[in-house]
Every structure is written in structure tokens, then in C-alpha cells.
């Protein structure tokens, strides 16, 4: 029996993870592709093309394939192994080929084109109009109008890109897992908090190195080491390891993969009539063109760089006064930054950690969602999970109606890539009048519990949880008819609005009072400490802004430069990032080779969207501040016009419906202390 080929006999038709084995995936994918092809043939057999029997039917086609592939690729990110990675290299080309079979089907496109030419006579509602527009554009933008020779080349390119992207991610994960900083001399632990040291002991034991301390490149290990370790030599060592991932000329090197991807993306864009890949991508974004993105980033750089330079100068002087440091290097920044923040604001992560026990923060996130949107989260042990650390919840509204299934996966492990993300196992849609509710997941890499302490989060981890939960709300509260327009299926530079706005609640006393209490005494976080958190929120904001701008500019440069001009990845990266450099260059380091957002994830020619969406979130949150952060009228408007609306109309229309006007960038500049 292959559980992926049967109806899921589970609560809410959730994936039967307890029954799924690796060998089930390939036959299930192959069977689902056949079923999806049959769906397409059924559409083409309808004698009179209509919106319902073609456009709407196409949105529903391949439903089983969508579910099975989502299960597989989510596991490849959160719980992978060698066998799954081998399968991914076999399955990915099958899915790419199937997608191209659909998008390059001339008979199918002729039906779509016919309906599209009649759209003004069809009396469609706004969601139907958007679906028709999006469907027609998807076929055009993926080669439906090309001749057969160019279609064949497009297929080859897409197959190559899918394989290279997988290999890029596998290499980053392998190199992340491969590195260990093994400490045998206790003196080398100087400066590190007890909780960090205890975690290093636990890591050492897990790796069979009892009696030693082991630090890795996983975020909860790497970041505290950079912030607190007094040993400058060891900070430099682990910094170099982190910033040379997949750039050493060995079998895990990603430099050629980057060049191949850029070459193939540029060729693909040219086949479709675009100058470069960024032009292709940005046609479907709120920012309409490369020059508009560059202008946006350049203007932000102009306003933030002077502040950033002053911050670095102040930190360099602080390090000199404190430790007679002649030159502030990149491996010094976090270390002295944390010390300066503590001196200025009398607050640091170790002071705050005891107030942010993971379980309390989760309850705080849930309570915030309940106060804003009336959601209740009930843990359900009957819902299968893919790892014992994962929790599954049933989400209900105020009336007790089922809204969503929500999975939460919080701790690092060897089979999970670094970072934090939201994803779905099933999107929301309406089928035969029945609302199929979504299955949403967030995956993080937070500080693990130890033998003596629960998981105590840094404040940055708290904001990360709120961020990813904001994405999850966008998915869970989806209320549309068509899955391809539902939930997070929106323009990429709009998708970060729900996540980034939700971070704002972390800084408000009314929200922190809900969950921030000492894990031992139960004492609530003091008003004085909340004030210090708020005061410190703009600490080194200029530096952080310039850092984000530098990544956005590097992304745009890769995807708008003629590939023949990118001969050396290291030189290219150095030249692009020179304008945003605030600290001395470190010879031999290279971040492009592990820049998974743009070379493995979906942010190619879209990394700028984090800053773009910050303009929206700062402007939108000002309304909550004016009305009250739990004001029901404002929350309901945000839910109906942003969170539930998905991509049913252009995001600028949705934003105006919520805010009553266009966004004003002054809100971001003000919040960041740049004006």
C-alpha cells in the first residue's frame, strides 16, 4: 500500500506522515502526473471553451500532484536525508517537464486565448478577472507563443535550472553540517553565557565528543558565539567558516552553479523577449522594473549610509577605548555591538532570554492572533507529524469553525536547512461549493532546550517567530475561490507585508504583557525593560538597513548583468557591494555561494522586497498605533483586505482598501530613526 496514492484517512485530510516512506514518493509523483494530464485532457475535450470549464478547471487540475509534491519538497527542506536528496534530483525534472507540457500545450493555450479575447463580454467578478489575466499571462510568460525550436530549448533550460538549484541547496546544507568548532580548553569559552556553553556541551555529546564543547554554523550556535566569545581568534575562525561556505573549490563549491544559473536564466528571459531575468521577474511585481528597484534601494542607501557610517565609527571608538582595538573587523562587529548596546540601553539578549521561554512566546503569538482575529489554536495529537519535535494544531475561529491546520517546527537538526520559513502542505480553495481549508507550517532554527533549561529565545528569535507567524496568518486566513490566488499567492514584494507588520507587536507593552514572564519566577517583564527594548529597537538600524540594501543590490546585479561579464564570482560580488561596505573586506570570504534566498528559494530578482514591504508595514502599523494595537475595526479591515484577500486583485488596490491611501515611505524612515 502506498499511502500517497490513497485518500488520506487522517484528521482534515492531513498528510499521513506516519505511513509515508521514501520509496512511496516517486511512484506517487508519477501516478499524480498521469492524473494531472488526464485533467488537462478533460479540459481540452470540452466542446465550447468557457471560463468555468477551462480557466477555473485548470486552477483545479493536478490537485493530487500539488499535495504530494508539497509534502516531498517540504520534507526536503525540513527533514531531508541522502535518499530524499537523490529522489529530489529524479523528481524535480519530472515536475518541470509536466509543468512545461501544460504551459506549452498549444491546444490548451488556444482555448485560454479565446476566452481572454472575450473577457469584456463575460461579466466576470474581480477574482475571476484576475485569474483569467494571471492564467493567460502565465502561459505567455512561459513560452506558449514560441516556435517549437524555442519551446524545446525552454524545456531544456528549465530542467537544468531545477537540477542546479537543488544541488546548490544540498551543498549549502552539507557544508553547514560539516563544520565543527571543537573547543577543548575551557578558557576559550570566556565571555559565553552559561546557556550557550551548556548547549555546546549538548551538541558535543550528540556528536560523540563527550568532554568537549562543539559550536556549529547553525544559527543558534553561530550567532551567540559571534556575539559573546571573548576569543577574537576563534570568532575569526568561525566567521571565516560561515562566510566561505561552498566557495573552496571542492565538490561542494557553488561558484560554477551560480554562473550556470545566471546564464540559463538570462537565456530563458531572452527567449521570451526580455532583456534580462530581472525584467522578466519584475513585470509581475509592484516594482515594475529594474531601474525602479535600483532607484528605491539607492534612495534608501542615501538616507541610511551616513547613519550607518556614524554607527560603525562609534563602535570602532568604543572597541578601541574598551580593548585598545586598532581595527574593527567583521568578526568583531556583533561582539562589540552587543557590549555597546548593553552599555547604552542596559539591555542585551542574555538579560532578556529568561522572559522568552519558547512555550510562553508561542502562547503569546496565539493570544495575539486571538485578540486580533479571533483565532483559537488547539493542539491535536491525532494529526500525524513528520518529526517528533513538530507540533500540529487545529485552528478555529470565534464560532468554533475549522480554519486551518497549523504545524510548528522550531529546532535545528542535520536534516533541516538553516533559517526560518513558512510553507503550506495544502492551499485554500473552494471545490463544488465546499471551502477546503489550508494546511500551513512554519519552520525555524531556534535555541534548543538543554538538560537544565527550557528553550529560551533571544529577542531576535521572538521577532522571527512573529514574522513567520505573520506569513502563516496570511495562509491560514485565506478566503478565496481559486488556490492560485489564495493565501500567500500574491506579488513577491507584497508577500512580506503580513509577516513584517506582525513583528511590530513584539515591541508593544500591551502585547509583551501577554507572554513575557520569567521562566523560573513567573515574574512579568518590567515596564522599564520593555522601555529599554523599545529604545534599543533602532540600535544600529542604519547598519542593518545598509546590509539589507547590499543584498538587494547584489541580487539585482546578478539578474540584470550580461552573464559573460561575470567571470569571477568573488570579484563580481566585491565590485557590486563596494558601495555598501562599512567594514574592511575579508579576503577569501564569499556570501554569494550560500545566498540560498536567490539561488535556491524564490527571491531571485526579488530580495529588495524585504525593504519594499517594510515601507508598507511601517505605514500600515501606524494606523494600528493610532487606533490601538488590538483595535477590532482596524484588525478586521486588515484581515479582510490583506490577510484573507490573497491575490484576488492587484496588491496596490488591496492596500488602498485597508489604508485609504497610498503608502508613505516616511513611516519607515521615521521608525528606523533615519529621519
Contact (Cβ atoms closer than 8 angstroms) between residue 128 and residue 71: no
Q: Which of 468, 483, 496, 622 is catalytic?
A: 468
Question: What 8-state DSSP symbol labels residue 483?
Answer: G
Which residues are paired to 163 by β-bridges? Answer: none
CB-neighbour burial class of residue 451 (10 A; exposed 0-12, middle 13-18, buried 19+): exposed
The question of whether 184 is a catalytic residue gets the answer no
Distance CA 655, CA 663 (A): 8
Helix (H) / strand (E) containing 379: strand 376-379
Contact (Cβ atoms closer than 8 angstroms) between residue 471 and residue 488: yes
Which among 65, 614, 631 has a CA at the least distance from the CA of 296? Answer: 614
Residue 400 neighbours by CB distance under 10 Å: 7
3-state secondary structure of 436: strand
Q: State the sign of the Cα–Cα–Cα–Cα dihedral 290, 291, 293, 294.
A: positive
Which among 380, 382, 384, 418 has a CA at the least distance from the CA of 80? Answer: 418
Distance CA 557, CA 552 (A): 9
Distance CA 546, CA 599 (A): 21
DSSP states along 15-76: --TTT--HHHHHHHHHHHHHHHHHHHHHHHH-SS--IIIIIIHHHHTTHHHHHHHHHHHHHH
Contact (Cβ atoms closer than 8 angstroms) between residue 17 and residue 441: no
**Cα angle 468-469-473, degrees, rounded to a multiple of 5:** 120
Distance CA 444, CA 422 (A): 9
Contact (Cβ atoms closer than 8 angstroms) between residue 25 and residue 391: no
Which residues are paired to 402 by β-bridges? Answer: 396
Q: Tell me which residues are annotated as active site.
A: 468
Amino acid at each position: 500500500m502506498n499511502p500517497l496514492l490513497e485518500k488520506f484517512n487522517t484528521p482534515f485530510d492531513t498528510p499521513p506522515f506516519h505511513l509515508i516512506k521514501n520509496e512511496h514518493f516517486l511512484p506517487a509523483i508519477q501516478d499524480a502526473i498521469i492524473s494531472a494530464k488526464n485533467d488537462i485532457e478533460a479540459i481540452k475535450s470540452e466542446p465550447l471553451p468557457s471560463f468555468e470549464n477551462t480557466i477555473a478547471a485548470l486552477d483545479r487540475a493536478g490537485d493530487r500532484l500539488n499535495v504530494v509534491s508539497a509534502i516531498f519538497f517540504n520534507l526536503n527542506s525540513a527533514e531531508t536525508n541522502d535518499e530524499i536528496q537523490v529522489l529530489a534530483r529524479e523528481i524535480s525534472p519530472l515536475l518541470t517537464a509536466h509543468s512545461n507540457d501544460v504551459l506549452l500545450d498549444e491546444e490548451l493555450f488556444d482555448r485560454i486565448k479565446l476566452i481572454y479575447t472575450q473577457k469584456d463580454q463575460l461579466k466576470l467578478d474581480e477574482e475571476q478577472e484576475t485569474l483569467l489575466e494571471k492564467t493567460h499571462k502565465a502561459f505567455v510568460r512561459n513560452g506558449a507563443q514560441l516556435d517549437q525550436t524555442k519551446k524545446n530549448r525552454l524545456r531544456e533550460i528549465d530542467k537544468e535550472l531545477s537540477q542546479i538549484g537543488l544541488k546548490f541547496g544540498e551543498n549549502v546544507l552539507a557544508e553547514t553540517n560539516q563544520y565543527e568548532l571543537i573547543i577543548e580548553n575551557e578558557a576559550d569559552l570566556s565571555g559565553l553565557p552559561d546557556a550557550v556553553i551548556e548547549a555546546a556541551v549538548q551538541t558535543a555529546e550528540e556528536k560523540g565528543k563527550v568532554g568537549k564543547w562543539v559550536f556549529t554554523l547553525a544559527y543558534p550556535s553561530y550567532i551567540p558565539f559571534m556575539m559573546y566569545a571573548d576569543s577574537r581568534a576563534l570568532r575569526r575562525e568561525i566567521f571565516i567558516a560561515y562566510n566561505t561556505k561552498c566557495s573552496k573549490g571542492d565538490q561542494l563549491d557553488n561558484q560554477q552553479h551560480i554562473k550556470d544559473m545566471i546564464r540559463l536564466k538570462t537565456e530563458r528571459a531572452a527567449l521570451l523577449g526580455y532583456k534580462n531575468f530581472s525584467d522578466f521577474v519584475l513585470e509581475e511585481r509592484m516594482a515594475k522594473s529594474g531601474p525602479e528597484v535600483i532607484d528605491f534601494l539607492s534612495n534608501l542607501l542615501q538616507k541610511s549610509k551616513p547613519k550607518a557610517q556614524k554607527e560603525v565609527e562609534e563602535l570602532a571608538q568604543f572597541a578601541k577605548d574598551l580593548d585598545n582595538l586598532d581595527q574593527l573587523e567583521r568578526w568583531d562587529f556583533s561582539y562589540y555591538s552587543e557590549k555597546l548596546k548593553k552599555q547604552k540601553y542596559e539591555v542585551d539578549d542574555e538579560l532578556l532570554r529568561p522572559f522568552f521561554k519558547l512555550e510562553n512566546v508561542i502562547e503569546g503569538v496565539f493570544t495575539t492572533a486571538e485578540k486580533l482575529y479571533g483565532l483559537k489554536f488547539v493542539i491535536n495529537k491525532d494529526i500525524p507529524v513528520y518529526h517528533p519535535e513538530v507540533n500540529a494544531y487545529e485552528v478555529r475561529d470565534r464560532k468554533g469553525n475549522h480554519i486551518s491546520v497549523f504545524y510548528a517546527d522550531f529546532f535545528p537538526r542535520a536534516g533541516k536547512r538553516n533559517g526560518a520559513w513558512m510553507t503550506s502542505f495544502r492551499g485554500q480553495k473552494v471545490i463544488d461549493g465546499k471551502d477546503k481549508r489550508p494546511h500551513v507550517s512554519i519552520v525555524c532554527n531556534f535555541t534548543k532546550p538543554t538538560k537544565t533549561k527550557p528553550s529560551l529565545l533571544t529577542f531576535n528569535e521572538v521577532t522571527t517567530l512573529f514574522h513567520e507567524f505573520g506569513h502563516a496568518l496570511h495562509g491560514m486566513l485565506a478566503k478565496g475561490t481559486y488556490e492560485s490566488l489564495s493565501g500567500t499567492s500574491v506579488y513577491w514584494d507584497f508577500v512580506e507585508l503580513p509577516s513584517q507588520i506582525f513583528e511590530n507587536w513584539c515591541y508593544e507593552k500591551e502585547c509583551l504583557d501577554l507572554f513575557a514572564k520569567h521562566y523560573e519566577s513567573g515574574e512579568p517583564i518590567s515596564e522599564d525593560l520593555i522601555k529599554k527594548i523599545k529604545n534599543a529597537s533602532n540600535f544600529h538600524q542604519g547598519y542593518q538597513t545598509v546590509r539589507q540594501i547590499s543584498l538587494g543590490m547584489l541580487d539585482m546585479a546578478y539578474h540584470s548583468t550580461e552573464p559573460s561579464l561575470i567571470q569571477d564570482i568573488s570579484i563580481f560580488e566585491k565590485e557590486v557591494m563596494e558601495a555598501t561596505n562599512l567594514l574592511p573586506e575579508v579576503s577569501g570570504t564569499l556570501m554569494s555561494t550560500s545566498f540560498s534566498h536567490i539561488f535556491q528559494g524564490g527571491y531571485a530578482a526579488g530580495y529588495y522586497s524585504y525593504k519594499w514591504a517594510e515601507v508598507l508595514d511601517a505605514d500600515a502599523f501606524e494606523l494600528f498605533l493610532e487606533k490601538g494595537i488590538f483595535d477590532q475595526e482596524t484588525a478586521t479591515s486588515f484581515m479582510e483586505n490583506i490577510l484573507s484577500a490573497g491575490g484576488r486583485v492587484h496588491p496596490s488596490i488591496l492596500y488602498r482598501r485597508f489604508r485609504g491611501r497610498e503608502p508613505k515611505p516616511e513611516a519607515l524612515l521615521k521608525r528606523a530613526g533615519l529621519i
